[in-house]
Amino acid sequence: QQTLYFSRHGESEFNVIGRIGGDAKLSPRGRSYAQSLAKHIQALNLPSLQVWTSTLQRTKATSAGIPAPQLHLPELDEIWSGECENLSYEELAERFPKELALRDREKLKYRYPQGESYIDVMNRLVPVLTQMECETNVLTVSHQAVLRCILGYFLETPPEEIPYIHVPLHTIIKITLQGYHYNMETIKMPI
């Protein structure tokens, strides 16, 4: 039975201050999640476990303690917000009010200036998703927008709803193929 695991990186210093994008380090809570994640995954004793992360330091640090082969894939990097990288949502509202309004209206198609849209992220994920479908016991450690796109694919979420899928921090998401459909379970980790 095919089983895939997913997690956002542990809380980053940017999550704490509400900034988007960037390549911030884990916060102390994020580091503590990395430890509980490694413990939990190790205890599952999954045969031929693999870990796939983005190339950003917050995902690599989150999975570093897991004894399994690790792949770092740029396709799993967070949505690129171009000129809006590193800004807080308040700064976005001040400096790019029109952009924010456009994004609110059509979050799926909205592309950041010099950056990406959710549709762009979905397109760059296609080769990874095709590969993932052929694997079992892969733990993917990635980012909020990317995980929304991946889960939306496996759970057949209507596209317009994908940018709003709830993917909380410090939670392991497990999907299991049953017939032609995936069932999802979430495991909230104590940190």
- Residue 149 binds to ligand F6P (criterion: CB under 6 A): no
Judged by CB under 6 A, the residue of 7, 10, 11, 20 near ligand F6P is: 20
The per-residue b/e assignment along 59-98, b for 16 or more CB within 10 angstroms, e otherwise, is bbbbbbebebebebbebbbbbbbeebbebeeeebeeebee
- Residue 60 binds to ligand F6P (criterion: CB under 6 A): no
Residue 45 a catalytic site member: no
Nearer to ligand F6P, 128 or 163 (CB): 163
| Rounded Cα distance, 11 and 169, in Å | 7
Residue 44 is inside which H or E element, if any?
Answer: helix 28-44
Nearer to ligand F6P, 88 or 178 (CB): 88
Nearer to ligand F6P, 166 or 179 (CB): 166
Q: Which residue is nearest to ligand F6P (CB)?
A: 20
Judged by CB under 6 A, the residue of 78, 108, 122, 152 near ligand F6P is: 78
Q: Cβ(149)–Cβ(118) under 8 Å?
A: yes
What is the binding site for ligand F6P (CB under 6 A)? 15, 20-21, 78-79, 81, 143-145, 163
